[in-house]
Structure 1
């Protein structure tokens, strides 16, 4: 049991809806910063909130070209109070499969690099930033994925750097989470949430 996580979950559940009846919450940060793990923990603290993984919507050719797919397949249905369905990209076969269902729950999490991007921010109830610098996050990701994906990581690092240079999420975050410990940090970027 994590009191900080439980408090964050309670605060999120109490927010006004931001997308139809849904409170859309983004978990953003560098690749390898712990977004998926933290989103899973937060979803559990929220009683099983659905999680949309942007890795399921991105592709090799368009690592950040998922905005329209997210809008059409996920955000528009949720905004109408309807369950959503989206295709799931297979990173081995290099094509979409699926579909994956996303219930129109009171809180829906979207996790992935760029989840807090400019095109999505107006629809967010809250933005979480995983606080781990790009080099440390990349080292963790490379260790996790093994040497066979070293070329992918080299290309990814360039794409990620370009994305955050033009559309940074961190300055807009409501809360930061330590990417190593998973603890919610004091003195958040947006100063709107200060529990530890």
Structure 2
């Protein structure tokens, strides 16, 4: 079912008038089209701030990267303490970003508790964070397409990282009965399309 971005945005803009603040997780495996979907949706939203879960990646010397725990390379506790808890209290949030070139956490970025806050990134709707969100959107795409997109973005030198580490870990996350991110999503989007005007919706629990 092709749905216009504007149609979903109109619904969210209406909800904002009633609530003042809503927080949305846009989750899904790497290369599925989460950022593309978020950016296109944002064009139609009145007030929106996007926070990328990639900014909460752990530095390379962290022992968590070798952990078998799901999503262990991302510091979800920092996302919770620096962003989600303050926002739920309707307070300004200040967070630091992981710099992928410098391999360290830097800066002090402000998030104002109003309008629509999008938390975009794989593992963003994990069970520990789920209750902070008003809506959860899952974006998925075919394996080979996701890999191709990842290599195109990051370079062929990152192919092993994608094939041997990131994608297997994401498959484990998707299959997890504890996190179960796909089944707990309010909307499921198929990210194969490159259409900037509409998207293919596979499931929704929201009437809009």
Structure 1 Cα separation of the partners of residues 50 and 38 of structure 2: 7
Per-residue Cα deviation, 1:26-47 (whole angstroms, up to 9, x for no partner): 1111101111121112222112
Residue 125 of structure 1: how far off its partner (Å): 1.2
Number of the residue aligned with 1:23: 22
Number of corresponding residues: 190
After TM superposition, the score normalised by the length of structure 2 is 0.80
Identify if the C-alpha distance between structure 1 residues 3 and 177 changes in structure 2 by more than 3 Å, giving closer, same or farther.
closer
Number of the residue aligned with 2:68: none
Structure 2 Cα separation of the partners of residues 172 and 90 of structure 1: 31
Runs of at least 5 residues in structure 2 that lack an aligned partner in the other structure: 66-70
Q: For the Cα contact (< 8 Å) 2:47–2:115, is it kept in 1?
A: no
Runs of at least 5 residues in structure 1 that lack an aligned partner in the other structure: none
Per-residue Cα deviation, 1:92-144 (whole angstroms, up to 9, x for no partner): 22110122222212210000001221112212111111131334212221222
Identify if the C-alpha distance between structure 1 residues 3 and 192 changes in structure 2 by more than 3 Å, giving closer, same or farther.
closer
After TM superposition, the score normalised by the length of structure 1 is 0.84
Q: For the Cα contact (< 8 Å) 1:175–1:184, is it kept in 2?
A: no
Number of the residue aligned with 1:131: 140
Which of structure 1's runs of 4+ aligned residues deviate more than 6 A? none
Q: For the Cα contact (< 8 Å) 2:190–2:202, is it kept in 1?
A: no
Per-residue Cα deviation, 1:62-99 (whole angstroms, up to 9, x for no partner): 57242210110001111121221111101122110122
Higher strand proportion (structure 1 or 2): 2
Number of the residue aligned with 2:180: 168
Does 1 or 2 have the higher relative contact order (CA < 8 Å, sep 6+)? Answer: 2
